[in-house]
Chains A and B, each alone.
Chain A
Amino acid sequence: MSLILRNVSHSYHKGTPLETAALRGVSLDVEPGQWVAVVGHTGSGKSTLAQHLNALLLPDAGEITVDGLKAAKGSKDLREIRRRVGLVFQYPEQQLFAESVDEEMAFGPRNWGLPPDQIGPAVDQALALVDLADLPRDRSPFALSGGQKRRLAIASVLSVRPSYLVLDEPTAGLDSRGRRGLMTLIDGLRREGIAVVQVTHDLELALAYCDRICVLERGRALFWGTPQVVVEQLLDRPVQGLSLPEVLAFARDLREKGFNVPLSWDPYEVAHALAKEVG
């Protein structure tokens, strides 16, 4: 049971002079309970990749399977794939439309034909996952605070019990408190066995929280692996529009000057090694 991409390519405006390749042979696997980051600069293809994960876009070449279901043109499994892979767009609070929290939450389950007696429990569970269990259900989604709206929008995708959740820049516009809250929330989802794919331009955030990182540059998956592995590769070959975490770049510069510090992006680790070295 996993989400597998093999050599996926995709071009926009195919067959016109405007044709642009957005993805070029991307491979990647997501296992249940994993937290994967797709990191890249604006225009690296990361949003295109996100839309492939739940079959909103289909590959021109290559193969995508979700728990064995194939995402290809004409496949009758496309709807089921979209249910299994929840996709949360950037600024998801902008997709809210219903008159009440309950209506908003029931939109997805109804679209996917969940039996009416199951919709209630599914909604309860999804709201609990995003820490909104106590929200009055008759309240208008538009009357909520910014942070609550975003969590409600995420819950509305979780309400059809997806096995995978793809989030495109979920922390955009949040301050540090909101960001940390959201990361804790995603961590909780992972504990529930939901695999999370987070698309972001924030390498620092990906290093701090994710299990696996895929680094995209101009539609190519340059690096793929654990944070440590990806960091080593990044030190060897810089990626367009993606700067190294300051602490890591600093640690590298320290080593060049002869200090014995680890190649780490954790400030405390570097500080302690330095204290030992100097003190």
Chain B
Amino acid sequence: MQFMNHMTLGQYVPADSFVHRLDPRCKILATVALLAGVFLVTDLRLFPGWALLLVAVSALAKIPLSMVLRSARPVVFLVLITALIHVFLTKGDPLWRWGIFTITAEGVVMASRMALRLLFLVLFAGLLTLTTSPMELSDGLERLFAPLTPLGFPAHDLAMMMTIALRFIPTLLDETDRIMKAQLARGADLDRGNIVRRLRAFIPVLVPLFVIVFQRADDLATAMEARGYRGGKGRSRLNPLHWRARDGLALASVVALVVAGAAADRWLT
């Protein structure tokens, strides 16, 4: 039915788990620490550690590993390109040569490192969005950035925009799907020709989509106003964030792991 599938977007999967119950700020900071860790660690021998951690956290979050892995699907192509570029362009001891193509040992190592880094980056970020509802995520970000509000940083507005964007992604995908089919039924040719032709062919999809998005935005603004929305001032929360001991412990463990990883990396290289 769908050209695009909801599940590939690393969307929130509700479950009753330790990870789901953690404060979103803890999860956001832990994810940032992990992303830093993925960049700090260069030695390939330590990478199975990331895999182990990923499996462990998925199990703790009661989310099937297959679903976590699927969240990386949109970047598989990018990962492959990155790997190919590094395989062929890294100088060093040649392992194999064919015409102008040379593969070096350093190239293979570099390619694996870059590809795996990118992959873990996306997978750890995916774990965050799979276990944290958009509302929690934006609440968390809003609170983390709140200290910047006096400096004019629109923490609340950005958080609200993010919430709404996430809320409407599935709806807009359905809408895009329907319009594409409607234009296909009118004989549109959406997937042939070069990139310029394809972009032109997409105008009959893009224009109606813009019209719908603006209509929606207008309706939504009216509905939000009718429901008493006046920006972030004076707003309270159904589920206010509570930083508990377990959040501190969880974050500390993750940071400790990252530091240990970085230290081990130095020691190994």
Contacts and interface: CB of A to CB of B under 8 A. Distances in A.
Interface string B196-224: 00000001111110011000000000000
A82 B185 contact: yes
Interface string A102-128: 000001100110000000000000000
A86 B97 CA distance: 56
A34 interface: no
Contacts of A107: 186-188, 204
Given A94-B208, A94-B212, A56 B184 contact: yes
B182 A89 contact: yes
B189 interface: yes
A142 interface: yes
A95 B187 contact: no
A36 to B, nearest CB: 18
B186 A51 contact: no
A108 B211 contact: no
Contact of B187 (A83, A88, A142): A83
Interface in A71-109: 79, 82-83, 86-90, 92, 94-98, 107-108
Task: Name which of B182, B203, B212 has the most chain A CB atoms within 10 A of its CB.
Answer: B182
A175 to B, nearest CB: 19
Nearest to A109: B187
A54 B185 contact: yes
Contact of B1 (A48, A90, A142): A48
A156 interface: yes
Nearest to A91: B178
A152 interface: no
A12 interface: yes
Nearest to A156: B186
B163 interface: no
Contacts of B206: 97
Given A54-B185, A56-B181, A89-B185, A94 B211 contact: yes
Contacts of B207: 97-98
A197 interface: no
B81 to A, nearest CB: 27
A155 to B, nearest CB: 11
Interface in B152-169: none
A261 interface: no
Interface in A38-84: 48, 51, 54, 56, 79, 82-83
A206 interface: no
A111 B185 contact: no
B181 A82 contact: no
B186 A89 contact: no
Contacts of B211: 94, 96, 142
Given A82-B187, A142-B211, A95 B1 contact: no
Contacts of B205: 97
B179 interface: yes
A112 B186 CA distance: 9
A166 B45 CA distance: 61
B90 interface: no
B187 A111 contact: yes
A199 interface: no
A97 B189 contact: no
A95 B208 contact: yes
Contact of B182 (A22, A82, A92, A160): A92
A157 interface: yes
Given A94-B208, A96-B208, A142-B211, A157 B181 contact: no
B179 A94 contact: yes
B133 interface: no
B187 A160 contact: yes
A89 B187 CA distance: 14
B102 interface: no
A203 to B, nearest CB: 24
A143 to B, nearest CB: 13
A95 B183 contact: yes
Interface in A155-183: 156-157, 160
A260 B101 CA distance: 91
Contacts of B208: 94-97
Interface string A12-37: 10000000001000000000000000
25 contacts: A51-B181, A54-B185, A56-B185, A79-B187, A82-B185, A83-B187, A86-B185, A87-B182, A90-B178, A92-B182, A94-B208, A94-B212, A95-B183, A95-B186, A95-B208, A96-B208, A96-B211, A98-B204, A107-B186, A107-B204, A108-B186, A108-B187, A111-B188, A156-B186, A160-B187
Interface of B: 1, 178-179, 181-189, 203-208, 211-212
Given A56-B181, A90-B178, A142-B211, 9 more contacts: A88-B185, A94-B212, A95-B183, A97-B207, A107-B187, A108-B186, A156-B186, A157-B186, A160-B187
